[in-house]
Structure formats: C-alpha cells, structure tokens
Structure 1
Amino acid sequence: MNRTPVTVIGLGAMGRALAAAFVAAGHPTTVWNRTPGRAVVPGAAHADTAADAVAAGPLVVACLAHYDATTEALADADLTGRSLVTLNSGTPSGARSTAAWATARGARHLDGAIKNVPAAIGAADTQLYYSGDETVYAEHEATLRVLGGDTSWLGAEVDLAKLHEYAVGGTLLPALLGFFQGAALVTARGRTAASLVPHTAKWLAMIASVLPTLADEIDRGEYTDPQSSIGLFHDAVPYDHEVTAEAGLDVAWHEPMHDLLRRAVARGHRDHSIAALVELLREPA
C-alpha cells in the first residue's frame, strides 16, 4: 500500500512523537528542526532547510511553539499545492491569520489541536481535532488518524480547533490545582499523594458523568431543577477555609471562585443549578 509522504516541521517533544508515529505507520517522513542535529527521528529523512522539507511531500505538519514561529520557519518554502496542517499552540485569531497567510501562498490549510501528551501519540484513544479546509481533512484523514484514533473535523471555520482547545483545556489547570491541593493536604498528614489517585480518578469520572446534564441546562438556559445548587457550593466556603487553614495551605487561588459564588447568590441564583455560573462568566470582567 502506498503511504502519503509527510513532512514534519519542528522536532520538540511533540514534533518528534508525531514524526515517529508517521514513520511507524510506514509513511515516508521528512523532518526539519530549527537547530540541526538537536533532535533525531530514526527512519525519517532530515532536511537541511524547511524549504527542502516542504518540497519532499504533499502534506506538511507544523508543530512549532506558536503561529509566528510557523510562518517564520516556512517563509522561504514554496507552499503551492501543499496541504499545511498546523498543530502548534496559539489563539483563534492566530489560526485565522495563519490560514490567510497560507492560502495567499498557495496552500490549503487545516488547523488542529492535540489533546494529550507526546507519549500518547498514536494511541487509539488519543484525541485530536481539526478545523478549516474540509478537502484537506477528507484527503488526509487516514494519515492524520495515525497520530490518534479519536480524530475529528469540527467544521470549516478555521479557528474552531483553537476555540475548542481553549474551551476544553480550561478545565486542566483548575483540576490539577485541585489535585495538588489535595496532595498537599494528605501529605501534611504523612500520607502519600499516590494514595489519592484512585479516589481522584473516580471523582473525575463522576464529574464527567454529569457534564451532559449541565450542558443541557446551559443550552436551554434553564437552571431551576438542580442536582447541585449554587447555594450548596456557597455554604461550603467556610469549610474550605477551615480545612486548608488547619493544614497551613496557601489556597489564594480559591478566592476568585468564592467571589463568583457570592456574586451569584447576590443575583438570586442560590437555588439554581451550579451551571448558572455560566451566566456570570458571560459578562465582561
């Protein structure tokens, strides 16, 4: 079976993982890195310039730090007729401007987001999503699915992948801080952080199970039949202070959340679903 030749631009930890996955799947893979020789991908051809790497195949996957780094790296490359897939960090506006830049240079552009760590690249449940030129996605879907089995196209608006990256990724730091706080709490009592892992994982699974109900409440704008009310969370704030003060923890990161709860109660949302907080978040700061 003929495999589409792929070029990978950028060989950080994620870029190396992407290139290695293409090589393992039998795709002729050409790579380029800003610092020659700093990163090696066995089985891949290492180009001297980004322009040479781009010339090696029809599908170019850029995995650099941000959009400006991508456009800078590809400034001298001939993108005419190439399919450019950007898998870098950035914002929705960056995705839009990069799409315009790529299109003006004769490329078809697809933007994407990787929702996992480098070690998970190639796994059946690794999630990636894309937005932009549907013809690029349709033509190269099988090749892109090499990077993760949970691969989808969100729509023709090129900034949708980045929009979803921020919308989904917004849960990461708060969830990790919650775990770190719990780890600080139990280790202060001589227990291990590892002892929390099975219980926290079960808790996160419970949270996942209620997301469809909360999303439905938000989509309908109807919060009057709550499973968990804002008042329940609001009234637990003193307990947060008591437990963490007893352990001597710095939990200043709680205050913006507590303030949001106080404002929601003041607005008359005490007996409404916790999902009603979205109404306050929709207001400009």
Structure 2
Amino acid sequence: MTGNIRMPSTVPVTVIGLGSMGRALAEAFLDAGHPTTVWNRTPERAAPLVARGAVRAEGVEGAIAASPLVVTCLTTFEDTRQALEGGVGALRGRDLVTLNSGSPAGARATAAWATSHGARFLAGAVKNVPSAVGAPDTLLYYGGDRGVFDEHGTTLRVLGGDTVHLGDEPDLAALYEMAVGAMLLPALVGFFQGAAAVQARGLPASSTVRFAGKWLDMIKSLLPVYAEEIDSGDYTDAASSVNLFLAGAAHDDELAAEAHVDTSWIAPLNALLGRAAEAGHGEHSIAALTEVLRLGGNGAEQRKLTVHH
C-alpha cells in the first residue's frame, strides 16, 4: 500500500542499435526499471530484450517517437545518421544521445544534423566493455547540450556510475575518445609481442599477465607527471629521457632474431625517438615526444590549450 507516497518516475528510453554494447545498454535501462523501446535493422536481435520486458518498435520512426530520450549505439556517426534518416520526422522535441565511435568532425556534423531536425543532442562514449555497463566504476563521458545531461543525468548514470559532462561542445567526447583510445592498440600489440616472445621459449603467455599488469600500473602512475610536463612545456626534469629510450631500441632487432617475432611495428616509434633527439630533446623527458608529434608547432609557446572541467 503506497498511500500518498509517489514512486520516483523512470523516464522511457529508446535504444537503437543492438550489437553487444547496445544490448548491454538496453539491459541496464530495463534493470533500472525504465520503460525501454528497442529497434535494430535485424529484428531478431531484439528478441532477448523483449523477453526481458522491452518493446520492439516496428520501425525507426516508431522507435524514436516512443521515448523522450533516444540512445543510439551504432558503429559511427555516419551510421547513426543513416539509421535515423527514416525517422527524422519524429526527432523534433526528442533528446538524442549517441554512444558510438567516430571523429570530432563526425560528432559536430551529427549535432548540426540533429538540431536541424529539432532534437537536442549529446554525444558520449562508453569507456569499457559491454559486460561492465551498469557498474559503479564504469566511465562514460559526454559532450553537448548541458540541458540534456542535467535533465537525464540520473537515467544516464544507470549505464555507469562514473558519468561526466565534458562541456557544451558536441565533439568533446569524440575528442577524448580518440585521444585516450590512441593508447589501446600500441599497448595491446606490445603485450602480444611479449606473449609471442615468451611462447618462443616454451612458456605460456599467461605467465606474463601479472608482470604486465604491474607495468601498466607503473605507467598509469606516471601519466600525471607527464601531463604536467606537457602542459608546462618543461621537459628538463627527465627521469626517463628520450636518449634512454633510444638506447633501448637497439635491442628490438636482437629480440626479433632470437624469438622469431616481428618487431617491425616498433620501427616508426623508434624513428620518432630519433626525430626527437635530432630536435634537441635527447636529454629531455620522454614526454617531449609530444612536441615532435605536434604538426606545425614549435613548442610550448605556440600552443593554445583549452582545459575543460
């Protein structure tokens, strides 16, 4: 018996795009009690969600019209616009949140497209795997209309407890997604190379996991130090210099010959070290590579940095 007690309302949500991540998003909304409408070009993908209480829309226009908050999870911004094109008439008055990969330019184009059809727009990114959706420490960040974030913040936090609004610019999540995501492939390829090397000695790849984890923890601990050096433009306090890394590069060919592993993917990185040394950064912190990566720039004095909180 509830008497005069009003139960908290749960905003109806539509999820468009039901790949592994899209399904996880819809499941999180369902678990939190949100009336959830789903749509995918392949209708069969909706079946497990319908079994859990979701409503499958017959078409994309109906899916958009079903909820004030529409969350898309497709591969790119271009895919998102294509998928929604058939239902643009229903976008007016809706709040559109995109959770996909893509460039800042793609986010800006999609923001302009969405607002031209009368929708408010927020572009975000899920910084974890589908199985982590809904966890208290799962990070999602968003850029775009602050009003959308403020109005739906409680609903969006259902997807992850570490939920951040980066600013009103609609491309900020895409910018940070690419900036942070740039670390992923080099780190993974480094691990795969190490796995191949230890297997060449008859040892299991699993034997490296503990040590690789400790190594990643150490790298994580250095990030604030390097960020401060980059923001200040002062690389003179070099705990690990460019020349130190350059000296270690000579061992790559030895490892390749001994373990029969392909280390050629490292060659461009070693070339970057050489360019930094030639530019006078040899005895500077390894963070000085940022200056070599900065096309058309000549150092800290030419940088225009904007910090968003």
TM-score normalised over the length of structure 1: 0.98
**Alpha-carbon distance between aligned partners in 2 of 1:38 and 1:61, rounded to the nearest angstrom:** 16
Task: Name the counterpart of 1:22.
Answer: 29
User: Is 2:242 aligned against 1:234?
Assistant: no
**Contact 1:12 1:39 (C-alpha < 8 Å) held by counterparts:** no
Task: Name the counterpart of 1:155.
Answer: 167
Letter in 2 for 1:101: W
User: Is 2:273 aligned against 1:261?
Assistant: yes
From 237, 247, 251, the counterpart of 1:225 = 237
Moved more, 68-77 or 94-103: 68-77
**Alpha-carbon distance between aligned partners in 2 of 1:68 and 1:260, rounded to the nearest angstrom:** 33
Give the C-alpha shift of residue 55 in structure 1. Answer: 1.2
> 1:109-258 residue pairs with structure 2 within 5 A?
109-258=121-270
Letter in 2 for 1:211: L
Please list every run of 5 or more consecutive structure 2 residues that lacks an aligned counterpart in the other structure.
1-7, 298-309
Give the C-alpha shift of residue 284 in structure 1. Answer: 5.4
Give the C-alpha shift of residue 244 in structure 1. Answer: 2.5
From 34, 37, 40, the counterpart of 1:33 = 40
**Alpha-carbon distance between aligned partners in 2 of 1:244 and 1:53, rounded to the nearest angstrom:** 54
Deviation per CA, 1:64-84, whole angstroms, max 9, x where unpaired?
Answer: 121122112222321111100
Task: Name the counterpart of 1:71.
Answer: 81
Deviation per CA, 1:42-85, whole angstroms, max 9, x where unpaired?
Answer: 22111110111111110000111211221122223211111000
SS at match of 2:43: coil
Letter in 1 for 2:59: T
Deviation per CA, 1:78-135, whole angstroms, max 9, x where unpaired?
Answer: 1111100011121111100110111011100000011111111111111110000000
**Contact 2:39 2:46 (C-alpha < 8 Å) held by counterparts:** no
**Alpha-carbon distance between aligned partners in 1 of 2:69 and 2:169, rounded to the nearest angstrom:** 20
Deviation per CA, 1:147-196, whole angstroms, max 9, x where unpaired?
Answer: 11111000011100000000000000000001001100111111111111
Task: Name the counterpart of 2:57.
Answer: 47
SS at match of 1:89: coil
SS at match of 1:157: coil
**Contact 1:91 1:163 (C-alpha < 8 Å) held by counterparts:** yes
Task: Name the counterpart of 1:12.
Answer: 19
**Alpha-carbon distance between aligned partners in 2 of 1:136 and 1:163, rounded to the nearest angstrom:** 19
Deviation per CA, 1:248-282, whole angstroms, max 9, x where unpaired?
Answer: 11111010001011111112211100000000000
**Alpha-carbon distance between aligned partners in 1 of 2:45 and 2:179, rounded to the nearest angstrom:** 34
SS at match of 1:76: helix
Query: Paired residues, what number?
Result: 285
**Alpha-carbon distance between aligned partners in 1 of 2:118 and 2:86, rounded to the nearest angstrom:** 13
Letter in 2 for 1:258: N
Task: Provide the aligned C-alpha RMSD in A.
Answer: 1.2
**Alpha-carbon distance between aligned partners in 1 of 2:250 and 2:82, rounded to the nearest angstrom:** 52
Give the C-alpha shift of residue 39 in structure 1. Answer: 3.6
Task: Name the counterpart of 1:59.
Answer: 69
In the TM superposition, structure 1's runs of 4+ consecutive aligned residues that sit over 4 Å from their partners are none
**Alpha-carbon distance between aligned partners in 2 of 1:216 and 1:107, rounded to the nearest angstrom:** 39
SS at match of 1:64: coil
**Contact 1:130 1:161 (C-alpha < 8 Å) held by counterparts:** yes
TM-score normalised over the length of structure 2: 0.90
Task: Name the counterpart of 2:120.
Answer: 108
Moved more, 115-124 or 64-73: 64-73
Task: Name the counterpart of 2:285.
Answer: 273
User: Is 2:87 aligned against 1:80?
Assistant: no
Task: Name the counterpart of 2:307.
Answer: none
Moved more, 61-70 or 165-174: 61-70
Letter in 2 for 1:13: S
Letter in 2 for 1:168: V
Task: Name the counterpart of 2:10.
Answer: 3
**Alpha-carbon distance between aligned partners in 2 of 1:132 and 1:265, rounded to the nearest angstrom:** 40
SS at match of 1:277: helix
SS at match of 1:8: strand
Moved more, 149-158 or 64-73: 64-73
**Alpha-carbon distance between aligned partners in 1 of 2:82 and 2:18, rounded to the nearest angstrom:** 15
